[in-house]
Chains A and B, each alone.
Chain A
Amino acid sequence: MWFSFRVRRTSPRIGRASPSATPFAGPGFALPPALLLLVLLVGCGEGALDSDVASDEARFVVEDDRGLEVRLQEPAGRVVSIIPSMTEMVMTLGAGDALVARTRYDRDPSLAHLPSLGGTVRPNLEAITDLRPDLVIAWSDEDHSPLSRRLRAMGIPVYHASVQRIDDIRSHALRLGRLLDRDDAAAHFLETLEARLAALREDPHPGTPPSVLYIVWHDPPQTAGPGTFLDEIIEVAGGSNIFRDARSSWPQISMEEILRRNPDVVVTATRHDGEVDQGRWLRAPGWQELPAVRSGQTLAVNADLFNRPGPGVAKAAEILHAFLREVAGMSTTHAGGHAEDRSAAGTFH
């Protein structure tokens, strides 16, 4: 899975990570993995304590998203991550050398030499054990319990992560920074992230924010609902998510509903960087009826960048912001004499 389905109800409290602070894991609830199980899994993150860890011998201690303590004697040096967004985070923190495996979704060339564990849904336990990792980063949802339970039984520390919002990304940067002894890199990452997001927020487009339909995957159409990092990215980029009122985080939506809502802009995630794909499937029934598609107000984005709640969120927001600026510019031109008036522009039906 390229993202996890767990959502935090409260944003984690993040302070400057001091070696003794245990980052916070808030009470959470699990969302149904939209693709297979419709069973609602009730999460169990307990309210955690910011307890000081007195012991000096274990300075590398954090609490993971399942409320379990991860305690390392040494900074992690042999890391297996089965979550692509967290793999990217490890690399961003400058600890890419510590990675000893990859999954088929980790397509970064610098990881190509590592053994692949295959997909992320059912990674091979023996293969992971064989790599003698001193830290495994695994999904926090219940589906993956057997794997992490057995790893822990063998004494391999497991860091359970769920990533749904941008705040989660910040929190993981800090906690992984601690486990990898890269606190400075984590702090630097947070500063850069804040600065880049703030720059976009302070640069709104003229007129009303264009309504954005984000297609996570087109068959069947699935979008990003409220409480997701993609919803936040759309907002930071100066748009408004047209399915913000959906009842779930990753709702499957019908073509009729898409036509009825009539978004200004359609953004579609395409696999790898196959720009080709979008042009083809937008010819499927219904899509051609959307004014946004007919007038070419569509953007194909790389799913590996956009569908991943990792260090790439700022870049994703910047790409979307630039595109929405272009669209807003077109509408301003259409508005003719009102081009000067910021509030009059921004409609293009």
Chain B
Amino acid sequence: MTGIAPRLGTLVVLLTGVALVSVSIGAARIPMLEIVPALLGQIEGTSRSILVHLRLPRVVLAIGVGGALALAGTTFQALLRNPLAEPYVLGISGGAAVGAVAVLVAGLGARLPWAVPLGAFVGALLAMFLVLRVARAAGGSRLDSRVLILAGVVVGAFFNAIILLLLSIADVESFRSAIFWMMGNLSGATWGGNLLLALYILPGTILLLALARPFDLLARGEDVAFHLGVRVERTKLLAYLVASLLVAAAVAFAGVIGFVGLIVPHALRLLWGPGHRLLLPASFLAGAAFLLMADTVARVVIAPAELPTGVITALAGVPLFVFLLVRRGV
């Protein structure tokens, strides 16, 4: 397990670099040397407004959401021992989308700015508990990972049907907002929202990072882990709940952003091996850097308009991942 610190250091440097570039470019260019003076209030005007009220909160949101999704993806892959596991495997994306779309179709989105994140969060929690209930009911007292995946798939399908139902009765404006929300975007970033998100992400991340050793043992099989002293069922349930809460909070503020939580953990595993003491913190940092890069591209590529961030994560992430896969094998 040597080399953890230098590798994490590399990722921190990468993330800082990406953040600087991201803060600097956009509809209005803000030279890197002017960032600090602008923050201190030495430069007034539009640039400062854009920096303080739009761009910085967005950069912070991208870091939080990207990190949370990649960390949750790593967690689910470790627990389910299934390479297809990703943050939305417990139906969270479907549940969140039902909540958000319902709010938008009801016309509440414009009246109450916090209604959409709240609806998404409640929907995500509902989906998570539903999936755990179904898995418990079908698999007995143990959380069987295959049953859990299956429960996630069917609950997700059910929620998808509800989304289609809602969209088919929506009017044009709500329809447009709902589709945009479902593609995932970070343009709604605010300092208040970020603070709320941090209340979930900071403790959740610390908890998951502390589970690195049990995850390593679980990777060798649940029986092995049990005999080596891991309280398997408790660890699994705790990890599911914490990771799902992270994802629910991320989805509430950024919509459904795909591929970050699937690709980043796999890419890191291909590069640096499966040890979770490195993998867990590295996936947070790399996920943050990846989403921040994707969001920066989404902001500038068709300026003055913007692309949904989720489009870029898939467009850029999938070829990158295929390249790694072909070069290194699984």
Q: A257-B304, A260-B27 are in contact. Are A217 and B173 (CB under 8 A)?
A: yes
- Tell me, in angstroms, the Cα distance from A276 to B111 when the chains sit together: 7
Interface size on A, residues (CB 8 A): 40
Q: Is the CB of B171 within 8 A of A119?
A: yes
Mark contacts of B233-249 with chain A using CB atoms, 8 A cut-off: 1 yes-contact digit, 0 otherwise: 00000000000000000
Q: Is the CB of A285 within 8 A of B304?
A: no
Q: Is the C-beta of A188 less than 8 angstroms from some C-beta in chain B?
A: no
Mark contacts of B183-219 with chain A using CB atoms, 8 A cut-off: 1 yes-contact digit, 0 otherwise: 0010111100000000000000000000000000000
Q: Is the CB of A259 within 8 A of B175?
A: no
Q: Is the CB of A281 within 8 A of B113?
A: yes
Residues of B contacting A254 in the complex (Cβ-Cβ under 8 angstroms): 26-27, 187, 299, 303-306
Mark contacts of B31-70 with chain A using CB atoms, 8 A cut-off: 1 yes-contact digit, 0 otherwise: 0000000000000001001100111010000000000000
Q: A283-B113, A285-B188 are in contact. Are A219 and B55 (CB under 8 A)?
A: no
Q: A105-B171, A259-B28, A284-B113 are in contact. Are A246 and B180 (CB under 8 A)?
A: no
Mark contacts of B109-122 with chain A using CB atoms, 8 A cut-off: 1 yes-contact digit, 0 otherwise: 11111000000000
Residues of A contacting B55 in the complex (Cβ-Cβ under 8 angstroms): 256
Residues of A contacting B173 in the complex (Cβ-Cβ under 8 angstroms): 217, 271, 303
Q: Is the C-beta of A326 less than 8 angstroms from some C-beta in chain B?
A: no
Which chain A residue lies CB-closest to B299?
A254
Q: Is the CB of A35 within 8 A of B172?
A: yes
Q: Is the C-beta of A252 less than 8 angstroms from some C-beta in chain B?
A: yes
Q: A119-B171, A260-B50 are in contact. Are A253 and B111 (CB under 8 A)?
A: no
Q: How many whole Å from A243's CB to the nearest CB in chain B?
A: 8
Q: Is the CB of A259 within 8 A of B305?
A: no
Interface size on B, residues (CB 8 A): 35
Q: Is the C-beta of A348 less than 8 angstroms from some C-beta in chain B?
A: no
Q: Is the CB of A281 within 8 A of B46?
A: no
Which chain B residue lies CB-closest to A243?
B304
Q: Is the C-beta of A36 less than 8 angstroms from some C-beta in chain B?
A: yes
A-B contact count (CB 8 A): 103
Q: Is the C-beta of A255 less than 8 angstroms from some C-beta in chain B?
A: yes
Could you say which of A1, A222, A253, A280 contacts B110, with CB atoms under 8 Å apart?
A280
Q: Is the CB of B305 within 8 A of A260?
A: no
Q: Is the C-beta of B176 less than 8 angstroms from some C-beta in chain A?
A: yes
Residues of B contacting A104 in the complex (Cβ-Cβ under 8 angstroms): 171
Q: Is the CB of B306 within 8 A of A259?
A: no
Interface residues of A in 262-293 (CB under 8 A from B): 262, 270-271, 274, 276-277, 280-281, 283-286, 288-289
Q: Is the C-beta of B179 less than 8 angstroms from some C-beta in chain A?
A: yes
- Tell me, in angstroms, the Cα distance from A260 to B300 when the chains sit together: 14
Q: Is the C-beta of A189 less than 8 angstroms from some C-beta in chain B?
A: no
Interface residues of A in 191-243 (CB under 8 A from B): 217-220, 222, 243
- Tell me, in angstroms, the Cα distance from A286 to B177 when the chains sit together: 18
Q: Is the CB of A280 within 8 A of B304?
A: no
Q: Is the C-beta of B107 less than 8 angstroms from some C-beta in chain A?
A: yes
Q: How many whole Å from A32's CB to the nearest CB in chain B?
A: 12
Which chain A residue lies CB-closest to B112?
A280
Which chain A residue lies CB-closest to B48?
A289
Which chain A residue lies CB-closest to B191?
A285
